[in-house]
Amino acid sequence: MSDPVIQIDNLQIRLADGRMLLRGVSVSVSPGEVHGLVGESGAGKSMIGRAILGSLPEGASIYNGRITFDGQNLLEMNRAQHRALMGRDIALIPQDPLMSLNPVRRIRHQMVDLMRLRLGMERREAQRRAIELLDQVSIHDPESVIDLFPHELSGGMRQRILIAMAFAGKPRLIIADEPTTALDVTVQRTVLQVLITMQRQNGSAVLFITHDLGVVAKLCRCVTVLHAGRVLEQGPTSEVISSPVHPYTRALLAATPRFDRPLASLKPIPRSLTESLWAEARTLDHFVGAQS
Amino acid sequence: MANITHSSYLARLPRLRRPAWRVKLGNRVVMGGAIVLAVCGSAILAPLLTGHSPIEQDLMNALMPPFWLSGGDISYPLGTDDLGRDILSRLLYGARITMTIALLSATFSCLIGSAVGLTAGFYGGVVDQIVSRMIDTWVAFPPVLLAIVLSAMLGAGMTSIVIAIVVVDWTRFARIVRSEAQVQAQMDYVAASRILGLGRGAIMILEVLPNVLPLIITLFTVEMGIAAVVESVLSFAGESVAGDYPTWGSMIAAGRGNIHHGWWMLVFPSACLILTVLSFNLLGDGLRRVFDPVHR
């Protein structure tokens, strides 16, 4: 197997008041692989993406661990070195497509500026490439769509435009942070198809952050199940889904709607289980605190 | 019942229809803009609109009333002042001063204030602290008084009036643009472009500025009205353009002394000033509505 594009070792993220958000997470993604990060809200799955992108929320900081991108330690880079990777080698597909496009600028200008400033293209070349990208993300009639404002487009179209922008620099790693959460279920499918087509064409690795195990089962080769900032289970998706080892994974699977089972068989994740997991995590924190 | 109301409503619709550009701009913009354009136009065309020189004295015809009153003459449509100068020509030439000063001082205070406010609001931190404290200090002074003191120190002349207004009024832009830039800097699209690797300067100019621009344009219009008033206050206080060159403020000052035997000397320049400021405010208010994303 080839060297991983991104390798995260024992990543710990902590808030200013000492609470831990990530309690030692290790994930590695090889080139061209789609890796799912699953967990409920607050599991810390988005924090992993934000740590890679260098946009941790106010007060949160990396306490311990390494993030290696392409053999270089991301956490030891200075701002300029890190910025040089963003938008070229690492790109983000954000959660909310409405908020992530500038509301007062036409799509053309947003795409062209990005390509001119980040990829050093000429204006003409950038425009041609922008239309080509829109065509690749199956936007009908890209020549006229490119001159519209974000509010004139549907959520699915906006998300496909953001996918096009993310892939503009043929990045090696894409972080997809719940890319379909803000979308209609009917649109989700198209957007995911576009994402996977683009990913295959460019051979990019994808860190796919979601709470939807059904989507993970379809898209991801490997999956990491997170809870309370800890990895509970990790491995090839087929194995994790067909024979989950951890009780939390089993509970998560039982809480995921499936077509081949009646809806009534859905079970919420038992509170006793999550509570005991949180307690366990806090006990571990105590040991970490005692060590440091 | 419901049907009747419905059909009568439909029948009335065609009469409600207005040209698309009027609907889009709104009455305020159309009205305000028309008056502003008219004032600017007559200022530019002043020599063509009147046969009299604004400074030529004719003591034989001093304090002549407007033409529709007895003793008035159609060649002096709005009458003459106590030195026999034609009021209409003085108003038209005065509009040149008022409009030039309004435009220049609004432009410079807009450029300076917006640049400072945008930088402070977007970058935050120490820059913002320094700028905010500076604005606080500035705002603590009564603005018109400060302008009078400044122009007295700088001496007469158009440049010193423009400087006085800019020095006082740039904070108006800085304050409002700063808070709006601060709001915009927190938006997701700013975070998204940062993650796409755009530099801070590029984000400020490419992403934040276009979102703040409608506000700046609106403020600019309102500032022109304010500058017109301040200019008149300064010339009323005798701190304006030197010599006998007519300004609305100095005409009001002269008219004040003649109010009992020549009310037209006071009323016409005051009306001009009120109308101009009102139209700038209408235009600004209308533009604010046009740019409001909820209305768009």
The pLDDT value recorded for residue A292 is: 42
In A46-197 the beta strands, taken as DSSP E runs, fall at: 61-69, 72-73, 90-93, 173-177
Q: Closest-CA residue in chain A for B210? A: A104
CB-nearest to A104 from B193, B202, B211 is: B211
What was the pLDDT predicted at A289?
A: 57
Span B190-227, pLDDT tens digits: 988 888 888 899 999 999 999 999 899 999 999 999 99
Starting from the edge strand earliest in sequence, which strands make up the sheet with A20-29, in order?
A20-29, A6-14, A61-69, A72-73
The predicted pLDDT at position A284 comes to: 79
Q: What is the C-alpha to C-alpha distance for residues A27 and B110, in angstroms, rounded to an integer?
A: 52
**pLDDT higher than 60, residue B7:** no
Inform me whether the C-beta atom of residue A83 falls under 8 Å from chain B C-beta atoms.
yes
* A19 vs B112, higher pLDDT: B112
Percent of chain A with pLDDT over 90: 48
Is pLDDT of A199 > 90?
A: yes
pLDDT class of B99 with cuts at 50, 70, 90? very high
- The rounded mean pLDDT for chain B is 87
For residue B279, count CB atoms less than 10 angstroms from its CB and return exposed for 0-12, middle for 13-18, buried for 19 or more: buried
- What average pLDDT does this structure show over B238-253? 82
Of B198, B210, B211, the CB nearest to A117: B198
| Contact list, B193 vs chain A (CB under 8 Å) | 102, 114
Contact A93, A195 (CB under 8 A): yes
Return d(Cα B66, Cα B74) in angstroms, integer. Answer: 8
Q: Among A88, A102, A119, A159, which would you mutate to test the B interface (most chain B Cβ atoms within 10 Å of its Cβ)?
A: A102
B197, A104: Cβ pair inside 8 Å? no
The residue ranking higher by pLDDT, B279 or A96, is B279
- Residues A55, B187: C-beta atoms closer than 8 Å: no
B162, pLDDT greater than 70: yes
State residue B119's pLDDT score. Answer: 95
Q: What is the CA radius of gyration of chain B?
A: 24
For residue B187, the chain A residues in CB contact (below 8 A) are 99
Q: Does a structural domain hold residue B229? A: yes
Q: Does residue B278 sit within a domain?
A: yes
Contact assignment for B211 to A86 by CB distance below 8 Å: no
B194, B195, B202: residue with CB nearest A117:
B202
A96 Cβ under 8 Å from any chain B Cβ: yes
pLDDT band at A185; cut points 50, 70, 90: confident
| Residue B1, pLDDT above cutoff 50 | no
Which among B195, B213, B293 has the least Cβ separation from residue A53? Answer: B195
How does residue B16 score in pLDDT terms, banded at 50, 70 and 90? Answer: low
Residues of A in contact with B191 (CB under 8 A): 55, 100
Chain B nearest-CA distance from A14, in A, is 21
**Closest chain B residue by Cα to residue A83:** B197
Residues 99-138, chain A, touching B (beta carbon < 8 A): 99-105, 113-114, 117-118
Residue B19 belongs to a domain: no
Residue of A101, A104, A152, A174 to mutate, testing the B interface (most B Cβ within 10 Å of its Cβ)? A104
Kindly state whether residue B117 falls inside one of the protein's structural domains. Answer: yes
Mean pLDDT value across residues B152-177: 90
For residues A15-28, average pLDDT: 88
Domains parsed from chain A with CATH numbers: 6-104+149-291 (3.40.50.300)
Residue B170 sits in a domain whose CATH number is: 1.10.3720.10
Is B152 within the bounds of a domain? Answer: yes
User: Per-residue confidence at A290, pLDDT binned at 50, 70, 90?
Assistant: very low
pLDDT value for A41: 83
DSSP-derived secondary structure letter, A150: G
Average pLDDT over residues B10-39: 75
Within 8 A of B199 by CB-CB distance, chain A residues are 83, 117
Number of domains into which chain B is organized: 1
- Name residue A223's amino acid: V
End-to-end distance of chain A based on CA atoms, in angstroms?
Answer: 36
Distance in Å, alpha carbon of A51 to nearest chain B alpha carbon: 11
Distance CA A51, CA A90 (A): 12
Greatest mean pLDDT among A38-47, A98-107, B92-101 lies in B92-101
Q: Does residue B64 sit in helix, strand or coil? A: coil
Give domain status of residue B95, yes or no.
yes
Q: Note whether residue B11 is domain-resident.
A: no
For residue A291, pLDDT beyond 50: no
In chain A, which residue's Cα lies nearest the Cα of B209?
A: A104
What is residue B293's predicted lDDT score, i.e. its pLDDT? 59
B233 contact partners, CB below 8 Å, separation of at least 6:
B144, B147, B148, B249
The ipTM of this complex is 0.78
Are residues A92 and B196, on separate chains, in Cβ contact within 8 Å?
A: yes
The stretch A24-40 carries a mean pLDDT of: 92
Q: With the CA atoms of A226, A229, A232 and A233 taken in that order, what torsion angle do they form, in degrees rounded to the nearest 10?
A: 50
- Over residues A147-171, mean pLDDT: 92
Q: For the segment A166-176, what is each residue's pLDDT rounded down to a tens digit? A: 999 899 999 99
Percent of chain A with pLDDT over 70: 98
Please indicate whether, in this complex, the C-beta atoms of B192 and A92 are within 8 angstroms of each other. yes
pLDDT, position B4: 47
Q: Are B276 and B228 in contact (CB under 8 A)?
A: yes
Picking from A9, A10, A16, A8, the residue whose alpha carbon sits closest to that of residue A60 is A16
Residue A270 has pLDDT above 90, yes or no: no
Q: Which domain holds residue B36?
A: 25-49+80-291
Q: Does A55 touch chain B (CB under 8 A)?
A: yes
What gap in Å lies between CA A169 and CA A165, rounded to an integer? Answer: 8
Query: Would you tell me how many other CB atoms lie within 10 Å of the CB of residue B12?
Result: 9
Given an 8 Å threshold on Cβ–Cβ distance, is B198 in contact with A118?
yes
A residues 171-230 lying closer than 8 A (beta carbon) to B: none
Bin A228: left if φ > 0, else alpha if -120 < ψ < 50, else beta: left
All residues of chain B having their beta carbon less than 8 Å from the beta carbon of residue A96 are 188
How does residue B270 score in pLDDT terms, banded at 50, 70 and 90?
Answer: very high
Q: Are A48 and A27 in contact (CB under 8 A)?
A: yes
**Residue B164: HSE in the Cβ half-sphere, 13 Å Cα cutoff:** 31
The verdict on residue B122 lying in a domain is yes
**CB of A291 closer than 8 Å to CB of A285:** no
